[in-house]
Chain A
Amino acid sequence: MNQKQKKNLIRILSAAACLIVLRLLEGRLPAWWLKLALYMIPYLIVGHDILRKAWHGIRNRQIFDENFLMTVATIGAIGAGIYRGMHGGEDDYLEAVAVMLLYQVGELFQSIAVGRSRKNISSLMDIRPDIAHLEGENGELEDVDPEEVETGSLIVVQPGEKIPLDGIVEEGVSTLDTAALTGESVPRDAGPGSQVLSGCVNRNGVLKIRTTAEFDESTASKVLELVENAASRKSRSEQFITRFARVYTPAVCAGALALALIPPLVLLARGMAPQPFEWIYRACTFLVISCPCAVVISIPLTFFAGLGGASSQGVLVKGSNFLEILATVRTVVFDKTGTITKGNFVVTDVHHSPFPREKILETAAHAEGYSTHPISQSLREAYGGEVNLSRVTEVEEISGHGLTGRVDGISVAAGNRRLMEKLGIPSVDCHCPGTIVHMAIDGNYAGHIVISDELKPEAREAMDLLKRSGIERTVMLTGDTEQVAKAVAEETGIDEYHAGLLPADKVEWVEKLLADPRRKGRLAFVGDGINDAPVLSRADIGIAMGALGSDAAIEAADVVLMDDDPRKIAKAMRISRKCLGIVRQNIVFALGVKFFCLILGAVGVANMWVAILADVGVMILCVCNAIRALFTKNV
Chain B
Amino acid sequence: MKKTYAIEVDCANCAAKMEEAAKKTEGVKDATVSFMTLKMKVEFEEGADPAEVMPRVLKNCRAVEDECEIHF
Contacts and interface: CB of A to CB of B under 8 A. Distances in A.
Interface residues of A, number: 25
Interface string A17-60: 00000000000000000000000000000000100110010001
B36 A304 contact: yes
A91 interface: no
A593 B37 CA distance: 30
Contacts of B32: 232
Contacts of B35: 300
Contacts of A297: 11-12
A245 interface: yes
B31 to A, nearest CB: 10
Contacts of A66: 13
Contacts of B34: 228, 231-232
Given A56-B66, A60-B63, A232-B41, A111 B36 contact: no
Contacts of A111: 10
B64 interface: yes
Interface in A482-529: none
B67 to A, nearest CB: 8
B60 to A, nearest CB: 11
Interface in B1-23: 10-13, 16-17
Nearest to A301: B36
A65 B64 CA distance: 12
Contacts of A296: 12-13
Contacts of B10: 4, 107, 111
Interface in A204-239: 228-229, 231-232
Contacts of B66: 52-53, 56
B26 to A, nearest CB: 18
Mostly, the A contact residues are helix
Interface string A291-322: 00000110011001000000000000000000
Contact of B13 (A52, A56, A60, A245): A245
A242 B16 contact: yes
A118 B36 contact: yes
B38 interface: yes
Nearest to A115: B38
B34 to A, nearest CB: 4
Contacts, number: 45
B59 interface: no
A62 B36 contact: no
Contacts of B64: 56, 60, 62
Contacts of A60: 63-64
Nearest to B41: A232
B12 A231 contact: no
Nearest to A56: B66
Contacts of A231: 34, 36-37
A62 B18 CA distance: 12
A4 B39 CA distance: 19
A448 B13 CA distance: 70
B6 to A, nearest CB: 11
Nearest to B63: A60
Given A62-B17, A65-B13, A118 B63 contact: no
Interface string B46-67: 0000000000000000011011
A49 B10 CA distance: 12
Interface in A106-163: 107, 110-111, 114, 118
Contacts of A53: 66
Interface in A350-390: none
Nearest to B38: A118
Contacts of A118: 36-38
Nearest to B36: A304
Contacts of B33: 232
Contacts of B17: 62
A60 B16 CA distance: 15
A300 B36 contact: yes
A505 to B, nearest CB: 37
A300 B19 CA distance: 16
Contacts of B41: 229, 232
B13 A228 contact: no
A317 to B, nearest CB: 14
Given A242-B16, A296-B13, 5 more contacts: A62-B64, A65-B13, A228-B39, A232-B37, A245-B13
Interface of A: 4, 49, 52-53, 56, 60, 62, 65-66, 107, 110-111, 114, 118, 228-229, 231-232, 242, 245, 296-297, 300-301, 304
11 contacts: A60-B63, A62-B17, A65-B13, A107-B10, A231-B36, A232-B37, A232-B39, A245-B13, A296-B13, A297-B11, A300-B36
